[in-house]
Amino acid sequence: MAATTVEEVLAQVEKDEAEKLKLITVHKELELQFDLGNLLAIDPNAPDGKAFRQKNRAEFLRSLARDNTQLLINQLWTLPTQRVQECVTATLPQPSTRLPREKPVPKPRAPTRWEEFAKLKGIQKKKKTNLVWDEVHKEWRRRWGYKRAKDGTKDWLIEVPGTADPSEDQFGKRMKAKKERVAKNELNRLRNLARAHKGKVPGVGLTPTSQPSKGELGKALHVAKRSTASVGRFQDKLPKEKEPRNMGKKRKFQPLVGDFKAEKSKQLEILKVMDSKKPKMDVTKAVNKQMRAEDAEASAKRRKPSKKGKGGRDRGGPKKGKGKGPAKRGKGKRK
């Protein structure tokens, strides 16, 4: 085994360092123009046409793209860097090249009815805090939503007004009023959307009409029941309630994993029809077509006029002549 001297080891190290330096060093006659904000590099150097024709074109283009990308990465390392969660990140400057938009600039949204009213009256929107003080529970609670402050639906006792019916369910009355408010807000939202898009209110649910018909109310009830997470599977039905018509049918798809025998037979039937030279004949359709043709031919024969008989007159028709009786024919001439 030959001994390795220190000079040989140093020469090999210098050679490896030169190879590494060669990988990140790219020489260009003209310097590239960089837009680091957009990670864009513009190469003003003309490509070598001779090398492009002689060498493999894909390899030549790949090498050119690699050199320009290396110059762009070298420029990125000149930017100020910082370490974020064991990663070195660079802060990009503001882009200097204006790139064209793929789509047109969106149009400004049309103001809603409330926004127009607020602008007319000078009403300004005030930001409210999400937490308010609840005097009953003596703690800060949310203003809206679950476990909100001053939640009237959690009261275990409701005072009956003096003008109300003592036997009336006040809890049910409160829930009904809340549902009506929610429905009214949804109706106003749909109206605002229709007004903003200059179109009609969607036909799903209760349409904003002064006197909705029975069919519209049934359709709205059906849509409201199907708007749950279970698609109305656990919703109770009203007495004598009927399913609305013309609501569309839900498409049914075969399961992805199931009976492989049925799928195999279906695919074999398709291949059998495709492989057969003669088209598949529908016997019922062919018989019906033949019967219709025979009926049409028989009806045409019945409508066809009768042929003329001998003597130039129709069969069964009146005889030709001036008198009532038959015409007299003699051998001699008439005087």
pLDDT < 50: residue spans in the chain = 1-2, 204, 316-317, 321, 323, 335
> What pTM was computed for the model?
0.30
Task: Give the whole-angstrom CA distance, residue 32 versus residue 29.
Answer: 9
73 closest CA partner among 33, 45, 41? 41
- CA-closest candidate to residue 75, choices 35, 30, 47, 20: 35
The DSSP call for residue 235 is P
Residues in a beta bridge with 41: 34
pLDDT given for residue 271 in this prediction: 85
The whole-number pLDDT of residue 146 equals: 86
List CB contacts of 193: < 8 A, sequence separation 6 or more: 201
* pLDDT reported for residue 307: 56
Token look-up 């860097």 returns 81
pLDDT of residue 159: 87
Residues 6+ apart with CB under 8 A from 80: 90, 91
Cα–Cα distance, 221 to 212 (Å, whole number): 12
User: For position 128, what pLDDT does the model report?
Assistant: 83
Predicted local distance difference test score (pLDDT) of residue 120? 93
